[in-house]
Amino acid sequence: MTDVSRFTLPSGQHMAYRFLPGRLPAVVFLPGYMSDMQGSKAVAVMDWAQQRGRACLLLDYTGCGQSDGAFADGCLSKWRDDVVALVDHLGLEAVHLAGSSMGGWLMLLVAEALSDRVRALVGIAPAPDFTEWGYSQSQRIELAAGRTIFEDNPYGPESTPTHALFWSDGERNKRLAAGIAFDGPVRLLHGLNDADVPWDISIRLAQSLRSADVQVHLIKDGDHRLSRETDIALLLRELAGIEG
């Protein structure tokens, strides 16, 4: 694993990242909500890239992991701009984006911003537009009023917050209904036992993408995390298949 570096964003905050130089397109891994670059999928992708001589970028969003900032101040638009600034700083002219859960939503926004530099997308239980389908009406009323809501966290002891800033920004960045102007290869992996993101979201995403080269892989016994050895092996096979 490469050492952690720190990039000074235009905001003055420092963003933590690990960059492995190598052959392009570089694989950029975008973690999920409240996740960071220490996750098992991110580490596996970096190891895979190192074995193949591929460039790879792991990162922590501001307010997450080893980056500066408070999570309450984070939102999709900010994290999109931060990722784009880091990719520009590293001079990456060709990338493949791999997004997990919320990172699968963010990869759509980053792909719009980077345009032709993004050659392929890989979504792992992608969760685009989850401000629309992921909350009850009572929760939406609380968020619209500017209040934070908390939900049980199946992956840890502390409740998971959703802050009003994130929710309102997410509402402005929904993409499924409008269509997604991306023409490169897309691979979407989703577990049928996903309790957090319904698997039909990947089907909707596939239908929304303009590209004709879109494949959805449904894992019958897969959960939301898709972090078992077999799940990660499938992810790496798909990355290899679009290596290009």
Whether 88 is a known active-site residue: answer no
With tokens 């290009």, the residue in question is: 244
Rounded to two decimals, what is the model's pTM?
0.97
Active site residue 101: yes
Q: Which residue among 35, 190, 224, 231 is the active-site one?
A: 224
pLDDT tens per residue across span 117-132: 999 999 999 999 999 9
194 is catalytic: yes
105/170 Cα distance (integer angstroms) = 10
* 189 within 8 A of 234, measured Cβ to Cβ: yes
Q: Rounded to an integer, what distance in angstroms lies between the CA atom of residue 21 and that of residue 219?
A: 32
- Which of the residues 100, 101, 202, 208 is marked catalytic? 101
Its sign, for the CA torsion 82, 47, 65, 39, is positive
Domain range annotation of the chain:
5-128+180-241
Does 165 score more than 90 pLDDT?
yes
Give the whole-number percent of the chain exceeding pLDDT 90.
95
pLDDT at 21: 98
Which CATH code of 3.40.50.1000, 3.40.50.720, 3.40.50.1370, 3.40.50.1820 fits the domain covering 5-128+180-241?
Answer: 3.40.50.1820
pLDDT (tens digit, 9 = 90+) per residue, 84-104?
999 999 999 999 999 999 999
**Which listed residue (194, 202, 208, 231) is catalytic?**
194
- Show Cβ contacts of residue 10 under 8 Å, excluding neighbours closer than 6 positions: 85
Burial pattern 31-45, b for ≥16 Cβ within 10 A else e, equals bbbbbbbebebbbbb
pLDDT for 153 equals 81
pLDDT at 162: 96
Asked whether the predicted pLDDT for residue 244 surpasses 70, the reply is no
Query: What is the pLDDT averaged over residues 15-43?
Result: 97
